[in-house]
């Protein structure tokens, strides 16, 4: 895929995510997540691994939330920090070559899932990512 094609998918994902959030009140796991999933649609293992990494992060956030007040930037900052730490530890044993978004997206998905639940977050992210892929195919 060309760089302009990736940018088009990212833009469509961001715009569709904004519409989704406005219409449903649920976030899509970060503003970039649907676009990332759309671009990763051509590399399903990348999207799958990124979403899979969000599950242990969500568990860690739930545990931390029992002890600390996690909201806003504090929740997102902790989620992204934990994501980077988990990604780093994992890559020591299994070398990963994911782009920077491979550790940002799981943190954003985990932070939104902690706030609003896993199912609404994943449903919005996947729906908007697939819609971006579909629109990119039918738009000139």
| pTM confidence score | 0.87
Non-local (6+) Cβ contacts of 137 within 8 A are none
Q: How far apart are CA 91 and CA 36, in angstroms?
A: 20
Report pLDDT digits (tens) over 31-80: 999 999 999 886 788 788 888 889 999 999 999 989 988 888 999 999 99
The reported pLDDT for the residue numbered 140 is 72
Per cent of the chain over pLDDT 90 is: 64
Annotate 96-111 with b (16+ C-beta within 10 A) or e (fewer).
eebeebbbbbbbbbbb
The mean per-residue pLDDT over the stretch 94-111 comes to: 81
Taking each helix axis from N to C terminus, what angle separates 44-67 and 72-93, rounded to the nearest 10 degrees?
130
Q: How far apart are CA 101 and CA 93, in angstroms?
A: 20
């Amino acid at each position: 895929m060309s760089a302009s094609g990736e940018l088009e998918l990212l833009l469509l994902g961001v715009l569709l995510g904004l519409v989704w959030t406005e219409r449903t009140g649920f976030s899509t796991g970060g503003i970039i997540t649907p676009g990332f999933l759309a671009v990763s649609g051509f590399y399903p293992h990348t999207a799958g691994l990124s979403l899979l990494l969000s599950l242990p992060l969500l568990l860690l956030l739930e545990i931390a939330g029992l002890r600390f007040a996690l909201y806003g930037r504090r929740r997102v900052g902790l989620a992204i920090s934990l994501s980077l730490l988990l990604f780093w530890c994992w890559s020591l044993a299994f070398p990963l070559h994911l782009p920077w978004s491979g550790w940002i997206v799981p943190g954003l998905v985990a932070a939104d899932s902690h706030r609003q639940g896993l199912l609404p977050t994943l449903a919005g992210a996947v729906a908007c990512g697939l819609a971006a892929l579909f629109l990119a195919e039918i738009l000139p």
